[in-house]
Structure 1
Amino acid sequence: MSEMARILVADDEPDIRRIIGIFLRRVGHEIVEADDGMSAMALMEELRPDAAVVDVVMPGMTGIELTRTIRSLPHLAPTPIIMLSARTLPHEVEEGMKSGANMYLSKPFSPSTLIAAVNRVLNA
């Protein structure tokens, strides 16, 4: 397991944020939450998390737009990003990866899959 990290969890569904938070806190990570892309971007600037878990479909700024914005800023560009979505058609996954995501996980996901993905991007 990787050392404790600050992870931004951005999803407009409160239950998804809560579940992800439970999984990641259990393995020692600190969680900060955003319910939309604009709030997530503000937290990225303010807190500079070690990684981000981002939903694709969010109001205001999508996860794709958020990821592109993060990648365009030199001080945030290195931040590992895991994209989450129920959209799993090949072209949808490709769009997420082309936006700059390090990994793309489909919903629903298991706790072990999410934890492994976070550990993988933190240790890359």
Structure 2
Amino acid sequence: MDAHSLDRTRTILVVDDNALMRKLLVRCLKEGGHRVAETDDPRGVLDLMRALKPDLVILDVVMPGLSGVDLMRMIRADRALARTLVVAVTNLSTPTDMLRFSRAGFDGHVAKPIQPRDFLATINDYLGGKGDRI
């Protein structure tokens, strides 16, 4: 990895209860040169975020135990974490869903099923401040 690509390397936390989806997201991000941490348990995310200080969190919306929307509200309510970029990954995309995600505090979303090349480009856009906001 050259010095230029090190400048673009970011730490990303992937939160998804689906092992296959999580593996796909992690692989795409690592191939894009990012440092990636992952978890399938939304209940430990706040502590993990405090420890990792990720540049961006990719958060599944539909998870058992604690929904991504509820977790997003908790992130935004935490002063230490509130400014972290968080992108929803979901197959929910109606205008009502988008309004709910926006009100919860998501910075953006990526629709499932993902296309790896498009997914990486979209995440890089968010990291560069160019992603479409919800």
The structure with the larger Rg is: 2
Question: Do structure 1's residue 70 and structure 2's residue 75 form an aligned pair?
Answer: yes
The alignment covers a number of residue pairs equal to 124
Question: How much has 1:18 moved relative to structure 2?
Answer: 0.3
Structure 1 runs (4+) deviating above 4 angstroms are none
Distance 1:88 1:63 in 2: 14
Which string of whole-angstrom CA distances, capped at 9 and with x for unpartnered residues, describes residues 8-33 of structure 1? 00000000010001100001101111
Distance 1:69 1:36 in 2: 15
Which string of whole-angstrom CA distances, capped at 9 and with x for unpartnered residues, describes residues 85-106 of structure 1? 1112211121112111111121
Question: Do structure 1's residue 36 and structure 2's residue 65 form an aligned pair?
Answer: no
The normalised TM-score by structure 1 is 0.92
Q: Which residue pairs with 1:23 in the alignment?
A: 28
Distance 2:114 2:98 in 1: 15
Question: How much has 1:60 moved relative to structure 2?
Answer: 2.0
- After superposition, the CA RMSD in angstroms is 1.5
User: Residue 60 of structure 1 aligns to a residue in which SS?
Assistant: coil
Which string of whole-angstrom CA distances, capped at 9 and with x for unpartnered residues, describes residues 4-59 of structure 1? 11100000000001000110000110111110211222211221111000000112
Out of 49, 52, 62, the residue aligned to residue 54 of structure 2 is 49
Question: Do structure 1's residue 112 and structure 2's residue 117 form an aligned pair?
Answer: yes
Q: Which residue pairs with 1:6 in the alignment?
A: 11
Runs of at least 5 residues in structure 1 that lack an aligned partner in the other structure: none
Question: How much has 1:113 moved relative to structure 2?
Answer: 2.4
The normalised TM-score by structure 2 is 0.85
Distance 1:42 1:58 in 2: 18
Q: Which residue pairs with 2:91 in the alignment?
A: 86
Distance 1:91 1:104 in 2: 14
Runs of at least 5 residues in structure 2 that lack an aligned partner in the other structure: 130-134
